[in-house]
């Protein structure tokens, strides 16, 4: 039986599922087991295809997602909408949603590949407003560079998600992912006047075969002008080599960020 969800409701549910998977570092295999469905069926849902209502309900239960709150009332009686919270908690910077409405949407991001020279990595970010926690929220879709998919052998995009911190003193956007003591931070300058790029730096940990070490790269996020399905955005993810049409302009942007948009301590910034 086909799902009774509308296309818009299904899209909202898929986005919430992806956020929850990223927050818990769940693979598709793990979530399918929790939800009691086939991994192939879960993949169909994440690709935007209709699935049975029982499957949606099982996934929602497994991730503790309140479908009534997320999707609105079904036939049988109105649900009074919750009062919207239009500013973030002080722990996130106390910023107003109205000040950052232009930042909501999808972005294509470029940074350097940590393991190989002369290659860039392209991923997809989404910024939206988390009404439950009253803050900006980000979701990044990316794919393993090893080509082997997730550790258990399944393929597909990995994800990062979390809250957005904005200091009232610096105005910079800080996108923080935390999982079991590991932190990953993307710090971005605000839009320049008349521009639609967020420029900054990503600080994470890079796997050096036998050990991990701190890794950093300049990064920029180019906002997309039209809304696209997540399944379409996923196809943009991957490495960009020197023969790709996007390589030269993206590398020029990254080199400009390294020169002027971020401060690197050491001889590169010494005037003497």
Q: Is the pLDDT of residue 197 over 90?
A: yes
Question: 3-class DSSP state for residue 106?
Answer: strand
CATH number, position 206: 2.40.128.120
Give domain status of residue 256, yes or no.
yes
Same domain, 37 and 159: no
The answer to whether the beta carbons of residues 169 and 120 sit under 8 Å apart is no
Same domain, 56 and 95: no
Give domain status of residue 142, yes or no.
yes
Strand ranges (E), the chain: 105-112, 119-130, 135-142, 158-166, 173-179, 182-188, 197-207, 212-223, 238-241
What is the pLDDT averaged over residues 125-137?
89
Same domain, 187 and 246: yes
Whole-angstrom CA distances from 28 to 17, 70, 85, 211 are 11, 21, 32, 27
Q: Binning pLDDT at 50, 70 and 90, where does residue 58 land? A: confident
Q: Is the CA virtual torsion 101, 104, 105, 110 positive or negative?
A: positive
Does the pTM surpass 0.85? The reply is: no
Same domain, 45 and 166: no
- Say how far apart CA 250 and CA 123 lie, in whole Å: 13
Instruction: Classify residue 43 as exposed, middle or buried by CB count within 10 Å of its CB (0-12, 13-18, 19+).
Output: middle
The answer to whether the beta carbons of residues 198 and 191 sit under 8 Å apart is yes
Give domain status of residue 85, yes or no.
no
Among the ranges given (81-90, 126-135, 259-268), the one the predictor scored with the smallest mean pLDDT: 81-90
What is the pLDDT averaged over residues 231-258?
92
Q: Binning pLDDT at 50, 70 and 90, where does residue 57 land? A: confident
What is the pLDDT averaged over residues 103-118?
90
- Say how far apart CA 249 and CA 65 lie, in whole Å: 41
Structure tokens at 245: 């049409």
Percent of the chain's residues with pLDDT above 70 = 84
Structure tokens at 137: 């929220």
Average pLDDT, the chain: 82
Q: Is the pLDDT of residue 5 over 50?
A: yes
Same domain, 44 and 96: no
Same domain, 66 and 96: no
CATH number, position 28: 1.10.260.40
Same domain, 61 and 169: no
Give domain status of residue 79, yes or no.
no
Strand ranges (E), 19-134: 105-112, 119-130
Give domain status of residue 53, yes or no.
yes
Give domain status of residue 83, yes or no.
no
Same domain, 114 and 63: no
Q: What is the tally of structural domains in the chain?
A: 2
For the segment 138-180, what is each residue's pLDDT rounded down to a tens digit? 988 876 444 433 333 334 445 788 899 999 999 999 999 887 7
Q: How many other CB atoms sit within 10 Å of the CB of residue 173? A: 25
Phi, psi of 40 (to 5 degrees): -65, -40
- Say how far apart CA 72 and CA 6 lie, in whole Å: 12
Q: Is the pLDDT of residue 60 over 60?
A: yes
Last residue of a domain, one of 36, 71, 106: 71
Q: Binning pLDDT at 50, 70 and 90, where does residue 135 land? A: very high
Find the domain containing 170 and state its range: 90-269
Same domain, 13 and 110: no
């Amino acid at each position: 039986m086909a799902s009774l969800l509308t296309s818009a409701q299904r899209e909202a549910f898929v986005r919430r599922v992806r956020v929850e998977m990223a927050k818990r570092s769940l693979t598709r295999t793990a979530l399918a087991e929790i939800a009691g469905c086939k991994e192939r069926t879960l993949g169909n849902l994440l690709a935007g295809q209709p699935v049975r209502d029982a499957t949606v309900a099982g996934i929602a239960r497994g991730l503790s997602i309140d479908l009534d709150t997320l999707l609105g009332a079904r036939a049988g009686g109105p649900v009074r909408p919750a009062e919207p919270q239009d500013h973030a908690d002080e722990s996130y910077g106390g910023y107003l949603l109205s000040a950052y409405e232009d930042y909501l949407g999808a972005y294509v991001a470029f940074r350097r590949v940590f393991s190989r020279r002369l290659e860039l990595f392209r991923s997809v970010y989404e910024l939206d407003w988390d009404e439950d926690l009253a803050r900006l929220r980000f979701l990044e879709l990316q794919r393993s560079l090893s080509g082997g998919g997730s550790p258990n052998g399944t393929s597909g995009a990995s994800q990062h998600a979390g809250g957005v911190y904005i200091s009232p003193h610096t105005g910079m956007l800080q996108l923080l992912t935390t999982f079991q003591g590991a932190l990953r931070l993307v710090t971005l300058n605000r839009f320049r006047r008349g521009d639609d790029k967020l420029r900054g730096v990503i600080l994470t940990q890079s796997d050096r075969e036998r050990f991990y070490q701190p890794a950093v790269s300049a990064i920029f996020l180019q906002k997309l002008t039209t809304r696209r399905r997540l399944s379409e955005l996923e196809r943009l993810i991957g490495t960009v080599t020197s023969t790709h049409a996007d390589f030269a302009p993206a590398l020029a942007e990254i080199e400009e960020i390294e020169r002027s948009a971020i401060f690197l301590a050491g001889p590169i910034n010494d005037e003497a």
